[in-house]
Amino acid sequence: MRPSPRAISLTVLSLAIVLITTWLIWIAWDATASDPMTTLAPLSDNADAVQGLYNFVTILAGIVMVGVLTLTLAFAVIFRERAGHEPQQIHGNSRLEVLWTLIPVAIVIAIALPSFSVIIDTTGDAPDDALEVVATGNQWWFEFEYPGLDVTTANELHLPVDRAVNVELRSEDVIHSFWVPQLSGKVDMVPGHENRLWFTPHETGMFLGQCAEFCGTSHANMRFRVFVHAPEDFDAWVASQAADAEPAQGDLALAGEKIATTLCAACHTIRGTNAVGQIGPDLTHIASRTTLASGMFENNSENMAAWLANPPGEKPGSIMPNLNLNAEQIEQLVAYLQDLK
Amino acid sequence: MEATEAAHGEHHTSLGVDNRMLLMWIFLASECLFFGSLISTYLIYKGESLVRPLPDDVFDIPLTSLSTFVLLVSSFTMVLAVYAAHHNFPKMMKLSLLSTILLGLVFLGFQVYEFRLFGSEGLNLSTNQFGASFFVLTGFHGVHVGVGVLYLGSMLIGSMRRNGLGPSGGLYMEIAGLYWHFVDIVWIVIFTVIYLIP
Amino acid sequence: MATATGTLPQVQEETTIWTWLTTVDHKKIGTMYGISGFAFFLLAGLEALIIRTQLAVPNGAVVDADRYNQLFTMHALTMIFLGIMPLGAAFFNYFLPLMIGARDVAFPRLNALSYWVFLGGALLLTSSFIFGGAPDGGWFAYAPLSDEEFSPGAGLDFYAIGLLILGTSSLMASLNFAVTVFNMRAPGMSMMRLPVFIWMMLVVNFLLILSLPVITVALVQLVFDRNFTTNFFTPAEGGDPILWQHLFWVFAHPEVYVLILPSMGIVSEVLPVFSRKPLFGYAAIVFAGVAIGVLGFAVWSHHMFTTGLGTVPQIVFTASTMAIAVPTGIKIFNWMGTLYGGSIHFNTAMYFAVSFIALFTIGGISGVMHASPPVDSQQQDTYFIVAHIHYVLFGGAIVGIFSGLYYWFPKMTGRFLDERLGKIHFWLMFIGMNITFFPMHFLGLSGMPRRIYTYDADLGWETWNMVATIGSYMLALSIIVFLVNFFWTMRKEPTATDNPWDAPTLEWATSSPPPEHDFDVIPEVRDRDPLWYDRDHGIEKVEPPSEMHIHLPPPSYFPLLIGLGVLLLGVGVLSHLALTALGVVIVIYSIWGWALEPTE
């Protein structure tokens, strides 16, 4: 049966409509590659490997979508009821049905095989010389420890460029997920399980991460940042972080230190003082961090004062309670903490 | 064309199996998955207990073998009840049914005794993963035996009525028997997997 | 009462509240399922609107974090368990006996019981908003967040008890329906002549029968953890939260097919009728549906690719998941084959059915994308997944349900929904749905996680969130148009003949709406498309004998009473155990009364 000129032109028209739509989708799709948390601009080898597969899968998906949508649209317009046109009473066609069983089979095999190889590559062991980091999820912040380097920090992970990092993922409470879209796909932090994730960042810069497993009230506010440095910058950062906290200078800060080492010490550690609490983030070098409350606010005196005045008001569900500090105490604390570079 | 359907007895069905019988079969398929999930939980947590007592500390195999035997015998009496119902031996049916119920109750008694014994040895729901998964699994099995006892009890009361279980008595008894045998078989699996396999 | 005499002007008794409360008629029960399901669908839609309003702009302040978490949890629970499932059950209740040529389901009272237990569970779950806070742990309620330590409120107890009750209802309904399909078919209605809708629902019933017990066990363990000191999911005591995930998804993945298969069935009925040709590849569509059901039990871990499954499980579950694309593809191609060469009459039902193919395909394709774990590691828990599930569940399930509604409305009410309003409804919904959900793909690609109540500006998420919110209001508008259409139509005189669409299946062989006893004479089936066969072979409808005594089961109030008892049982667990005891007494009393109640 030869298709009629009408059928051909309607099919071409359908194809054109679907292609234009797909092209518009593609523009919007591609535009997301320049967003700060994009999944489409990989800057580590691990993310690269995923991306290659991702692109391939996307192209295949696009072709299938164009094909199915075009034919559906074309059939719908070509075969709409017209005077004098009788429907063909066909129940099926074995040859066609076998053919379109084989099409999806071929497509999924084409996707599955490279998937297997990327799975094997990315879930394998990290290289021996990888930097070891322990990342721990808490409601609702991240702790990063560098075993052997004597560094513990929170919500900001610093890494050297072009060196593999092997992140051990733990959780203290509920399930969280570690995700920095530009550096790596996500892996969950499951209490009682030892999950791992490794990647090699190959560009310096700051990358945004966020918890990607629903973990309670402030799940939306559980963000973190990854800083990738040149090797010498990374070493300098490690040296400064490994040092104890600087002693307070000036009356205001001294008064703040006193509060910090008594009131705050139950939950926070400030190395070099008697504050050794383990519940909240390590504050030894809090002033060196760019954000407060797990990526919620820029780290400055004003925001810190607001935070100290009422943590649950700033961050819903915050485990840190409102300590009912007065304005003077807050001023003193801020003076002290903002000196902890 | 038959405009009036048969008023009594078993209705015509497409598969030729009575609706209620088919319902019970499919329901038991569902029950397989229910106990399968409970047994899986037990097996997954095997060896994951952080504190004693462990199975070796509390299990009394001879005792549980005895209660298993009791349940097995109850399956046998159930077979007799079904046979009697089919062949219209009302006395034998009631007697077998009563024996099945009593044996079921004895099994439950064993279970209560065992639970209390384990409790006195320090095993309860919160002790460890063994305690939690053991009690929930065997507890739910016990509930099934209990429901079975009530089920058979209502059949017994029904058969005491003047006209007995009616023309479908054999069928009703067979359906009840299906349930009872299923509960027994599940126990055999539990006994093997949990008590016997080290 | 129990005997309808003749087809003479229907001796319809006056319908009172009591008739509905004690009915065992599958059509009335189906109607009640439909109305309740639609009411909950509206409620869930309202929840979605609040969610979209909150997310319209960065740092939205419509609701606070805790309320937001309740809303997205309840949106999912309500849509899945109280909206889409009952709407599917409504059609199945109404049309299962009609489509296989039976006078009712196998167990009419059990059918009524399923409905009342469903309603009790639904009200219980929804009432959590009033009593102490709705569940806020996601519909998946992952441990240990759902444990008492991290969710001390009553919300998760409402969740567990509510789902246990709803599961009981679904199990009873599924057993009943499965037996009906197997055993109540009219003469000549072999399994391979069953309408595809019936086949798909049979698969749904088996999915539920085999997966509900698994979630039951998980929920029981959760209840024990929260209330009776066990530590099934407490890591510190040797419990494993991943076990919950396995048990949950062994149920919840088949559940996804429970939601979509009914609509696949509906579309398979509507497409041939309005293409005026038989369904293309009936056997292939049936077997593909069965294959989807079977494979549905082998893929659950693809929801857990990011939990650190390990290399080999990832590969295995990738393979099984991708395998599902094959039967799904077969279905899509066969639907297109049905359109091919047809003489397509485009009314609203057909608009919805054809758009189902397109929208479901988009959802299916994005599903294949994250069947690949490396891709999933970037898409999991982002808005890309939100887009995917809504293309499948809105573009698939809901659109299919609306297709069925426009198609079967004349059969159910004797009235045609207005075509002009229907097309306005369709276009608003079709465009609104794409404007709402397509941008979510882009949000996911640019890294927006799911289940966040707020987000910062400057992440590139503002535009598409605003667009999605506008789309959601368009969807709301489309629903309003539908409601107007519904109420307006119901005021019109019934004009529908027995078979206004010239459809091939048996439900169109009786009057519109059908008499209480469904068929005056049980039809005889000679072909897969019985009414077309009779039409083409000049076989006249058998005239009913002048005098008929059709036996119908009498009404019963025991189902309602047991439903009440079950509800009390649940309420008691949440409040005072005395209520539970009362519930048990009522249930036992009613079962006893039920067993002795004459059914002849």
Q: Which residue of A has its CA nearest to C439?
A: A28
pLDDT at C5: 40
Report the C-alpha gap between A40 and C447 in whole angstroms.
Answer: 9
Smallest CA–CA distance, residue C67 to chain A, in Å, is: 9
Q: Which CATH number fits domain A251-337: 3.30.70.100, 2.60.40.420, 3.40.1110.10, 2.30.31.70?
A: 2.60.40.420
Bridge partners (DSSP) of residue A275 are A270
- Return the residue matching tokens 């892996």: A187
What mean pLDDT comes out for the span A134-149?
94
Kindly tell me the number of DSSP H helices and DSSP E strands found in chain A.
Answer: 8, 14
**Residues near C508 by Cβ (< 8 Å), separated by ≥ 6?**
C411, C498, C499, C501, C531
Tokens of A188: 């969950």
* Cis geometry, peptide bond prior to residue B167 (ω within 30 degrees of 0): no
Equal CATH topology for A131-230 and A251-337: yes
Catalytic residue among C31, C78, C128, C170: C170
CA distance C85 to C34: 10
Burial class (CB in 10 A: 0-12, 13-18, 19+), B198: exposed
> Mind listing the pLDDT tens digit for each residue in C44-69?
999 999 999 999 999 999 999 999 99
- Residue C315's pLDDT is 92
Name the 3-class secondary structure at A188. Answer: strand
Confidence bin at B150 (pLDDT 50/70/90):
very high
User: What is the Cα–Cα distance from A265 to A252, expressed in whole angstroms?
Assistant: 18
Is the pLDDT assigned to residue B10 strictly greater than 70? no
- What's the CA gap between C298 and C135, in Å, rounded? 29
| pLDDT at site C573 | 86
Tokens, residue B164: 């007995």
Active site residue C328: yes
Give the closest-approach CA distance of C174 to chain B in angstroms. 10
Phi-psi region of C250 (alpha: psi -120 to 50; beta: other; left: phi over 0): alpha
- Per the CB < 8 A criterion, the answer to whether C151 and C222 are in contact is no
C24 vs C17: CA distance, rounded Å: 14
Distance CA C355, CA C432 (A): 13
Specify the residue for token string 């073998």.
B65
- C136, C154, C135: which is closest to C69 by C-alpha? C136
Q: Note whether C470 contacts A: Cβ–Cβ < 8 A.
A: no
Residue A133 vs residues A144, A166, A196, A212: alpha-carbon distances, Å: 7, 6, 10, 19
Residues in a beta bridge with A227: A158, A206
Q: Does A211 lie at the interface with C, CB-CB under 8 angstroms? A: yes
Q: Which residues of A touch C360 (CB under 8 A)?
A: none
> Binning pLDDT at 50, 70 and 90, where does residue B4 land?
very low
The per-residue pLDDT of chain C, averaged, comes to 92
Distance CA C486, CA C480 (A): 10
Q: Which residue has the tokens 């490794």?
A: A198
Q: Tokens 């003082």 map to which residue? A: A273
What is the amino acid identity at position C465? N
How far does the CA of residue B12 sit from the closest CA of chain C (Å)? 8
pLDDT for C12 equals 52
pLDDT on residue C600: 58
b/e burial code for range C440-454 (CB count within 10 A of at least 16 → b): bbbbbbbbbbbbbbb
Contact B77, B96 (CB under 8 A): yes
C-alpha torsion sign, points A152, A191, C448, A293: negative
> What amino acid is encoded at C244 in this protein?
W
Instruction: Quote the percentage of chain A above a pLDDT of 70.
Output: 100
pLDDT at B3 over 50: no
**Distance from the C421 Cα atom to the nearest Cα atom in chain B, whole angstroms:** 43
Q: Which domains does chain B have, with CATH numbers?
A: 19-196 (1.20.120.80)
Q: Exposure of B195 by Cβ count < 10 A (0-12 exposed, 13-18 middle, 19+ buried)?
A: middle
Q: How far is CA C74 from the centre of its chain?
A: 16
Beta bridge partners of A228: A159, A205
Annotation marks residue C331 as catalytic: yes
Q: What one-character DSSP code corresponds to residue C188? A: T
Claim: this prediction has a pTM higher than 0.90: yes
Q: If pLDDT is split at 50, 70 and 90, which confidence band does A122 have? A: confident
- At A100 the pLDDT is 86
The dihedral built from the CA positions of residue B172, B174, B179 and B183, taken in this order, carries a sign that is positive
C453 an active-site residue?
A: no
Alpha carbons B157 and C595: distance in angstroms, whole number: 12
Q: Which of C178, C211, C214 sits opposite B26 (nearest CB)?
A: C178
Chain B residues touching C600 at Cβ < 8 A: 7-8
Q: Are B124 and B131 in contact (CB under 8 A)?
A: yes
Inter-chain touch B15–C183, beta carbons under 8 Å: yes
Residue A196 parent element (H or E): strand A195-199
Q: Can you read off the two tokens belonging to residue C320?
A: 């099984």
User: pLDDT at position B11, please?
Assistant: 61
Is the CATH number of domain A131-230 2.60.40.420? Answer: yes
Domains in chain C: boundaries: 28-538
The DSSP 8-state label assigned to residue A338 in this structure reads T
| pLDDT higher than 70, residue A313 | yes
Q: Distance between CA atoms of C161 and C222, rounded to whole angstroms?
A: 10
Q: Cβ(A305)–Cβ(A292) under 8 Å? A: no
> How many other C-beta atoms lie within 10 A of the C-beta of residue A317?
17
Please provide residue C67's backbone torsions phi and psi, each rounded to the nearest 5 degrees.
-65, -40
In chain C, positions 250-279, which contact chain A (CB-CB < 8 Å)? 275-279
B28-63 CB burial, b ≥16 within 10 A, e <16 = bebbebbbbbbbbbbeebbeebeeebebeebbeeee
C187 three-state secondary structure = coil
Q: CA nearest C563: which of C539, C582, C587, C540?
A: C587
Per-residue tokens: C37? 């399901």
Q: Examine residue A87 and say whether the peptide bond preceding it is cis (omega within 30 degrees of 0).
A: no
Question: Distance (Å, rounded) from C-alpha C156 to C-alpha C148?
Answer: 9
What share of residues in chain B are helix, strand, coil (percent, to 5)? 75, 0, 25
**From CA C409, how far away is CA C404, in angstroms rounded?**
8
Chains C and A touch (3+ CB pairs under 8 A): yes
What's CA A118's distance to the chain center, in Å?
19
pLDDT at B163 over 80: no
- The beta-carbon contacts of C417-424 under 8 Å, at least 24 apart in sequence, are C417/C348, C417/C485, C417/C486, C417/C489, C418/C485, C418/C488, C418/C489, C419/C347, C419/C348, C421/C481, C421/C482, C421/C484, C421/C485, C421/C488, C422/C347, C422/C348, C422/C485, C423/C348, C423/C351, C424/C478, C424/C481
- Determine the pLDDT at residue A226: 96
Order of strands across the sheet that contains A156-160: A156-160, A223-229, A205-210
CA atoms within 13 A on the CB side of C150: 24
Across the range B10-22, mean pLDDT stands at: 83
Q: Which is the catalytic residue, given C139, C408, C464, C501?
A: C139
Query: What integer pLDDT is reported at residue C13 of this predicted model?
Result: 57
Q: What are the tens digits of pLDDT across the range A98-109?
A: 888 898 899 999
- With CA atoms as reference, the chain B residue closest to C233 would be B129
Read off the pLDDT band of B162 (50, 70, 90): low
CB atoms within 10 A of CB C585: 12
Q: Please, are residues C100 and C522 in contact by the beta-carbon 8 Å criterion?
A: no
CATH class of C28-538: mainly alpha
Q: Chains with 3 or more CB pairs closer than 8 angstroms to C?
A: A, B
Give the CA distances from residue C356 to residues A269, B189, C54, C271, C483, in Å, rounded to whole numbers and listed in that order. Answer: 58, 47, 29, 10, 21
Strands A269-270 and A275-276: antiparallel
Tokens describing residue A287: 């002033």
Per-domain residue ranges of chain A: 5-78+94-123, 131-230, 251-337
DSSP assignment of C190-212: -GGGS-HHHHHHHHHHHHHHHHH
Task: Using 50 as the pLDDT threshold, list the residues of chain C that sit under it.
Answer: 1-11
CA dist C262 → A93, C57, C400 (Å): 25, 36, 8
